[in-house]
Amino acid sequence: MNSNNLELELRRYELSAWNDKITYEKHYYNGFSGIEGEEAYQRYLQGVYDTYFIELRQKIDSLALSNIDTLLRFLQTKIDLFNEIYDKEYNNSNRWNDYQSFESMIIRDETVDKQLVQNSQGAKNDYHTMKFFVRMIGTQLYFIDKAINELTQIYNTYCPEPQPQKMTENDIDKEVWNNTLKDEKDILDTFDLARIFNKKESTIRRWAREGVLNPIDKTKRPQQFRKEDVKKDYLRIIEK
């Protein structure tokens, strides 16, 4: 059953049982069949999304007139909620695991097992079913990202992002960072930093919003950070 609640719809993960004897058109993802496809699913989610944000903006406008601090706390709660829905390390591990597994198998079917897919109806059915599920999951992830970005923009409208503090090389404990980051890659994402600092990814994203960390591109997800920039942000991080 479909819902008008965006939060529930983007958290939802229901797909039909695997069966290589039927074509992808007869499989289902969150109530939408393969024959309906991702376009129908995208139109549906867009309608739920629009309704959700119309109602949300009415509440935001009301809170903005009464108490900005309450509004900012409310927006932060919503941002954290959608980050949690998106977060592949916590509540949605099944969806993320399947998504990554499907993508790997699709690549295999298009390369190593290409001949098998061409000659076997069961393998061909599996291949197209996986592509269907990947497109549907990707549609959900698109709207999760869209919600996070729109909420972040609203938050920054009422609370402009602070300018990062000026720091010099003398402020950095080079020995600590050499030991901590010497074996890390040059470009780190939110998951990498959560592991390094033993924090949740939502905390790393909050630090980025507050100017404690400086992502390479604030509009992309997962956010990425240059290792050298993280080194320079050392003092702001340890103060947290």
Looking at the structure of the chain, the number of domains it has is 2
Dump pLDDT digits (tens) for 120-172: 998 888 999 999 999 999 999 899 999 999 999 999 888 865 555 444 444 44
Final residue in a domain of this structure, among 115, 132, 158:
158
Residue 191 belongs to what domain range? 169-238
Do 149 and 176 lie in one domain? The reply is no
Do 136 and 212 lie in one domain? The reply is no
The amino acid that residue 52 corresponds to is: Y
pTM assigned to the model? 0.66
CA distance 229 to 216: 9
Do 177 and 118 lie in one domain? The reply is no
Q: What is the CATH number of the domain that holds 193?
A: 1.10.10
- Domain-embedded: residue 163: no
Chain Cα centroid distance, residue 109: 27
Do 119 and 217 lie in one domain? The reply is no
Dump pLDDT digits (tens) for 58-91: 999 999 999 899 999 999 999 999 988 887 555 5
List, in sequence order, every residue forming a beta bridge with 233; answer none if it has no partner. Answer: none
Dump pLDDT digits (tens) for 23-70: 888 999 999 999 998 999 999 999 999 999 999 999 999 999 998 999
Buried b (16+ CB within 10 A) or exposed e, 190-226: bebbbeebebbbbbbbbbbbeebbbbeeeeebebebe
Final residue in a domain of this structure, among 102, 136, 158:
158
Final residue in a domain of this structure, among 127, 158, 189:
158
Burial class (CB in 10 A: 0-12, 13-18, 19+), 37: middle
